Amino acid sequence: MRRMTIGIALAALSAAIAVPALAAPAGAAPSGGAAAKPAATANGGAHAAAPAGTARTTADVSTAAGVKARNQPAPEVSASHLDGTCNYYSNYTGDLCLWYYQNFYGSKADFYYADSNLWNNYFITPGPGQGQVVANNAESDFNYDRTYTAWVCQGINYTGTCGYIPPWTGGNFVYPTFKNNVESFYWS
């Protein structure tokens, strides 16, 4: 009951301070992606406090920070953007971090750029789950971006049911929809 009361209070506070719209506009998926889907939070509307992240300057971002650039295939992505560190930048962009277990526990993986196939990414930090593939193995998340919404999808290439993680929020993935059931993600 207490969680519900807190959730309702947070929703009312969000509405009162005019948080940016959480639903992506029609056709917001990256090119080749699925059509717009009904808006659903990947965390059931629950938002936890930010786990420790690392502040970086805009100079640390190697390409344009616009959402379009972040959703394009980026074979030149440097290892620094997949280093297991949850970064947030002085231009208000940041990483999407995924953890192997709930409550930000276990090994983690971080992403600055959208990824259409999480089957070729691995949890890299020390802890339970290190070395495991990210696809269908993530139980919690945090969006360190203060501008863009992260959309997680059940299938590769942004297919299946997709849910959003608003800027600077995160928590445990909803079971069974997204917990251990995310294969791609993009920004909007």
- The tens digit of pLDDT for each residue in 170-186 reads 999 999 999 999 999 99
Q: Would you list the DSSP string of the chain? A: -HHHHHHHHHHHHHHHTTPPP-SPPTT-SPTTSPPP----BTTTT--PPPPP-EEE-GGG--S--SHHHHTS--TT--GGGGSS--EEETTS-B-EEEEEETTTEEEEEEESS-BS-GGG-B--SSSTTTTSBSTT---EEEE--SSPPEEEEEEGGGEEEEEEE-TTEEEEPPTTTTTT---EEEE-
pLDDT tier at 14 (50, 70, 90 boundaries)? Answer: very low
Please tell me which residue, 41 or 48, carries the higher pLDDT value.
Answer: 41
Q: Is the pLDDT of residue 74 over 80?
A: no
Percent of the chain with pLDDT over 90: 52
pLDDT score of 43: 77
Q: Is the pLDDT of residue 152 over 50?
A: yes
Q: Is the pLDDT of residue 120 over 90?
A: yes
Instruction: Classify domain 2-187 at the CATH class level.
Output: mainly beta
Q: How is the chain split into domains, by residue range?
A: 2-187
